[in-house]
Amino acid sequence: MSVEARAKASRILTPIIAAVGLIIYFAVLFHLTLVPAPSAIRYGIMPVVFAFPWVLFIFIFQERTTKAFSNLSEKTTIIPFRWRLFYGFNTLIIVSFFLFPFISPPLAVFAALVLAWRIVYHSEFIWNKGSGARLLYTALLFCLIAALPVYLLFFWFTYFLSSIGPLVFSTWIVLVDPIYFVSCCLVNALAIGSLLHLSYGTLDARGKVRTEKGGIVWVIWFIEAIIAGLLFVFLNRWFDPFGFKLYLIDPLAIGGTLGLIFYINMACLAIVVITYITKFCAGIEGERKLSLFGILFLFPFALVELFRNFDIFLLKEILIVGSSLIFVIAYVISFFAASDEASPLPASEDLGE
């Protein structure tokens, strides 16, 4: 298959994959939230109606959507990976369970109105009628096409605001700290692993792991997995099978407010800085790039990380929600800054064809 054919297939398959994924997502969401509706509506009509505007959006702005993700990833490499992992995952949760359920119903109504207007605009039958008949046909078409999305909007919002929203929010508040702890275990293990990769020369000129180094690479990855597991078992306040209570150890503050995991986080962050400086001095080009957008993006996350350690009612949750909204706003900015033009395709000879 030629490069051009693959590109065309990708442009066709992407909206199809998005449609299938979104329909499954909404069907699972309505199943988990026990929406009181017949199965045909819960698993068929509602998912299709709510997924339609997003699929249409992806189909129209496919290139810009992809470029926005790429640009955002490049400009935010200055943010520590721990923050990107935790707050990015929280952004996914908040978008999936809060923003999508709120935005999709009105977007479905808007998409239905746009579709009705497009039919009216391109219909010679309607435009050949008199002004009164034209207005009547237009209103009738708008009502017919938008009736179902409007009904589903009021039905979903009534049930979501009364039952689903409070349940999801209370569950999310309980899971915030465990999710952050798991992300800390993973990133701390990766930080120690990055120092090992640098020490044993398994990095290439761009700072990526050279898999052709063979056994040593697998040994380091195995060590990273062991470190992550040990941190999870011995420093986990929600799962302490041995009763060591290492999460309460705090040699500097009275009362053990921060715990050992805080100092391990700081030590691993220092390892990341040392590794980065060493790679810079050795001339190894890393993935991290400085940009004004990335620096401005870094400050809110630093404030969130600073104040999230204070045990003030809902302060931590509000800050984490705010940081997730920063991700969303940053993506919107990247979306409008990106172009709709497709990236130039490589020549066949460049791909060895």
How confident is the model over 272-316, as pLDDT tens digits? 778 777 777 776 655 555 555 556 666 666 666 666 555 565 666
- Residues with Cβ within 8 Å of 227's Cβ and at least 6 positions away in sequence, in order, are 188, 189, 192, 193
Is 193 part of a structural domain of the chain?
yes
pLDDT surpassing 70 at residue 247 = no
Give the model's confidence band at 255: pLDDT under 50 very low, under 70 low, under 90 confident, else very high: very low
Asked if residue 346 is part of any domain, the answer here is no
Report percent pLDDT > 70 for the chain: 72
Q: Are residues 222 and 245 in the same domain?
A: yes
Q: Side chain identity at 126, as an amino acid letter?
A: I
In a domain? residue 143: no
Domain count for the chain, please give it: 3
Report which of residues 280 and 30 the model is more confident about. Answer: 30
pLDDT of residue 138: 81
Domain containing 14 equals 1-60
Give the model's pLDDT for residue 47: 92
Q: Are 276 and 284 in contact (CB under 8 A)?
A: no
pLDDT tens digits for range 330-349: 778 878 877 655 554 444 44
Retrieve residue 95's tokens. 């978008």
- Domain final residue, candidates 288, 314, 329: 288
In terms of domains, do 190 and 315 share one? no
Task: Encode pLDDT of 34-79 as tens digits.
Answer: 777 888 888 999 999 999 999 888 888 888 887 887 777 776 666 6
Residues 52 and 85 in one domain: no
Residue 126 falls inside a structural domain:
no
Residue 30 CA to residue 22 CA, distance in Å, equals 12
Residue 353 within a domain: no
Do residue 260 and residue 217 come from a single domain? Answer: yes
At 192-224, the pLDDT tens digits run 888 888 887 777 665 667 767 778 888 888 888
Q: Are residues 71 and 89 part of one domain? A: no
Q: Which residue has the tokens 């819960």?
A: 42
Q: Has residue 113 been placed in a domain?
A: no
pLDDT of residue 302: 65
Q: Are residues 233 and 90 in the same domain?
A: yes
Let me know whether 233 and 295 are in one domain: no
Q: What is the pLDDT of residue 20?
A: 92
Q: Which residue has the higher pLDDT, 169 or 59?
A: 59
Question: Average pLDDT over the chain, rounded to whole?
Answer: 75
Dump the DSSP string for 280-331: HHTT---S----HHHHHHHHHHHHHHHHTTS--TTHHHHHHHHHHHHHHHHH
Whether 181 and 232 map to the same domain: the answer is yes
pLDDT at residue 101, as a whole number? 82
How many Å apart are CA 353 and CA 350, to the nearest integer?
7
284 and 224 within one domain: yes
At 315-331, the pLDDT tens digits run: 666 767 777 777 778 77
